[in-house]
């Protein structure tokens, strides 16, 4: 799997584009299995870097989604409420929410696609 270079990644397996679109990674969806439920914050919610912003559930597991950076939610992908399996089919296309990024400098602390790929392969080796 090659990870798109147009965005940054977290060690908790989220991705974020420079304009503040957030989703979870291909690796995350694969580890979770069949995704059946996505719980996301309402538009206008303030999210804080490193804090839980929502939840994604597969048949077997519950996982928190963490905010890659701080910001305010401007849009939520409502399609995922009725078709959460889209995250399995195309994790990097099925975005979850959009935010206005509070402090763009926070993005610099996140992983590049190459670093994330390396991180995932090291994690799998454990």
Show the site string, 12-51: x = touches other proteins by CB under 8 A, - = not.
xxx---------x---x--xxxx-xx-x------------
3-state secondary structure 54-88: EEEEECCCEEEEECCCCEEEEEECCHHHHCCCHHH
Q: Is 57 in the site for other proteins (CB under 8 A)?
A: yes
User: CA 47 to CA 72: how far, in whole Å?
Assistant: 6
3-state secondary structure 7-23: CEECCCCEEECCCCEEE
Task: Indicate the residue among 104 and 121 with the shorter CB distance to other proteins.
Answer: 121
> Please, what is the minimum distance in Å from the beta carbon of residue 83 to other proteins?
14
| Contact status, residue 38 vs residue 24, Cβ threshold 8 Å | no
Task: Specify the residue, 87 or 101, whose C-beta has the smaller distance to other proteins.
Answer: 87
Residue 55 interacts with other proteins (CB under 8 A): yes or no: yes
Q: Which of 1, 19, 51, 64 binds other proteins (CB under 8 A)?
A: 64
Contact 56, 80 (CB under 8 A): no
Min separation Cβ 62 and other proteins, Å: 6
User: Which positions lie near other proteins, rule CB under 8 A?
Assistant: 11-14, 24, 28, 31-34, 36-37, 39, 55-66, 81, 123, 126
């Amino acid at each position: 799997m090659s990870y798109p270079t147009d965005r940054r990644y977290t060690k908790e397996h989220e991705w974020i584009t420079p304009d503040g679109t957030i989703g979870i990674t291909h690796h995350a969806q694969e580890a979770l299995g069949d995704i059946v439920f996505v719980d996301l914050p309402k538009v206008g919610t303030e999210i804080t870097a490193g804090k839980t912003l929502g939840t994604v559930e597969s048949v077997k597991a519950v996982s928190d989604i963490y905010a890659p950076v701080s910001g305010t939610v401007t849009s939520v992908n409502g399609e995922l409420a009725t078709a959460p399996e889209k995250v399995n089919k195309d994790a990097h296309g099925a975005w979850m929410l959009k935010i206005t990024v509070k402090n763009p400098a926070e993005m610099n602390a996140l992983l590049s696609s190459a670093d994330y790929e390396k991180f995932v392969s090291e994690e799998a080796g454990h």
